Structure 1
């Protein structure tokens, strides 16, 4: 399945720039997104406690650059999480505009959502910690992603492709439950199971 490339605006590394109304520099955005993509990739293979030097090597920068953008590991974890959520948010309308059918768009978006859930490897334990910085992440996740999933479902239902009584949060919970096995079994194919789930939604 092809990826939908999106640019996500997060903390720009220039304190006060957004508050002052100044636009973020394009190179600063690209550099930070490179760091976030590298961190996400390392988290998939090594978990959120992976050495910062591994993330720096993946991004092709020094560790000092990582710490300049993200002074603590919590800052980095939160930024990666939000970066991936926003990628899923922006992908929804893009997929509806480029896919052959709304159901195809829903299928492709579900694949991106599976990728997001799998790249949260190790994050669940961190979210259960007593670090107050993580408290708002679940609310952020729900508030940003449920409307996008609902838009895709409504488009597919309006096209007569799926049943009309499906709730977005219900579908996202179902996909999430199907991804649980990926944490402990490298041979577990969450994508295949989610594809079967979506096939079962088709209106016969």
Structure 2
């Protein structure tokens, strides 16, 4: 019983360490949470995607990814283009303070439910680092737990659920800070810089 608990905690800690960072997916979830736009759908996409990737890594898909590096290269170029395009849209929003109010649509792809979900899926599945971190790295660590590896996976999955629910639904607590257009301008400027730099970095590595 003690070993099972330790394995769950290890999976939880490892999972959180891989997703709690400033990145394309997290900044998108934060912005949607602040705007209170399609948060349940966005959180669901993020959590389910993570659970699928964690399961794939623990099941051994990581070995297949290592054998087919060309797949990651293709994903890297597609992801880089996607991130830069989204960063440009964020920069455009930052230059239009009238569109910064949380409850307004701003003409960007994340305004509608369909656009939000597709954007979230793109930021998740077109990021090559998600395969390196969640599938390869986490899968490798889980393998070290032998017959307990699926308990490790459950712990990592719990980390994803806690993080994305907290980030998406908890963002509303910061809404008073974003009552003025200037705050949204600063946030979208930060998002633009983050997305474009990540896109350039991924393209360089690809």
Question: Which TM-score band (shorter chain)?
Answer: under 0.3
The higher-RCO structure (CA 8 Å, 6+ apart) is: 2
TM-score, normalised relative to structure 1:
0.28
TM-score, normalised relative to structure 2:
0.28
Comparing both structures, which one devotes a greater share of its residues to helix? Answer: 2
